[in-house]
Structure 1
Amino acid sequence: MLSHVGVACLLGSGLWTRVVPAGAPDNVIMASVVMDAPAPAAPKPEPAKPQIQAKTKPQPERQPQAKPVSPPVQPTPVLSPTAPSDAAPIVPSPAPAPATPAAPQTGNQRPANNATAAAVVLPSTSADYLNNPAPPYPRQSKRLGEQGIVIIRILITPEGRAEKAEIRTSSGYLRLDETALSTVQRWRFVPGQRNGAPEAMWFNVPIRFVLD
């Protein structure tokens, strides 16, 4: 057993050679076992050096900058349009009565502290008993299409008659003005009064000429 092991070792180391006896034929081939030299062991890789990371300084956190706050804009008050107030109708004031001279004061008389206004009633043409005729419409004025309003100013006596008459506002046409003036001068009136007594007063009478 041990002999077989020794032979195997000699064969493995290449030291074993076969001895050919003398006198053997020349065609005997000599064989030997050649062992390849073992390849050198590969060098162990050097361990990789740890890379040193450069220390970076921590950047300071930026504080968010506060945006400037603009002051609140005060709303402009809107003025709501006021509804127009209903205007009071304009009432024409009556013609002023002629001023009468004041009575001279005597030495024993004292002026009154509170003077009372005299009650005045203006003349009128609306009484039924007057029967005043309407002014005629001139024929030529009708043909020409003349129309308008004439205002006659009359001084009425305490008896209710026209003492004076004049044209205060013209119609723009002479024929119409003259017709109105001549007609009103023949009218009768209710005289004006002051404190219940008839009195001469001026009065305005409008005459309208309108084509149908």
Structure 2
Amino acid sequence: MKTDSRALELYTAGQSDRLITAGIRPIPVSLPWLGSAVLNKGPVRALLCSLLLHGILLLISLVGWRLLPMEQAPPSVISVFTLQQEGEPEAPGAERSKNAPTVTHRKEPIAKGIHDNKEVRPEITSSPASSQPANPEAGRVMASEPPMPATALRGDGSGSTAPSTTPVAGPGEGAPTGEVLARPLYTTNPPPPYPRLARKLGHEGVVQLEALISVAGRVDDLRIAVGSGHESLDAAALEAVRSWRFSAGQRNGQPVAMRVRVPVRFSLRAGS
């Protein structure tokens, strides 16, 4: 458009020179649309805007293509197989494990008949008269007085006991003829409480305790002769009997220290 305008101006100037030279007055030429186009620069501005817009779109497309994530090929899986030759010796540990005996753990059966009301019954056992056997012809007489059982509590699974006597004798000391022995008797003693964990697991059993009863009726020495197989039951029996009180045993009417066997039964079933 500029070239055309310039050419038009040159043409107009040339014509004016010719007319002046010839003495002819120039005729004015009016082109309103051309002047408006040159002054407003509408087509030029439109062309520049179009080029600028296309350039921006091209730049955006290039940048977007670079920012797109590249598709990566999936990793290939390599499988490794180990082939074992026939006749290959096995490890010594494997052979030892095959020949090792099978160890089985035996579980104690849990008592099925666990009731809220549990009753403890006394048990009476007898033991030999002393560590040294007495002469059967000596005529030793054991008093037949019944023991006073400990008060049994209902609802807590308490243990029960009844003592059997063994008089304390020195070395080489025998039982004189006509000797009358009276074993220690219970006073009012509380039964041992049933351990909560043992009751929950259904543990039962009898603990045989060997106690030395003094002349004052106190327990001077206490140990487990035969355990119940459950440590909690044995500990409960020891703790309870250690604080018990007895009426002292007698020999020919005189109070003497005696060693007695105290069985403590733990049972969860009523009537056992």
- For normalisation by structure 2, the TM-score amounts to 0.37
Higher helix share: 2
- For normalisation by structure 1, the TM-score amounts to 0.47
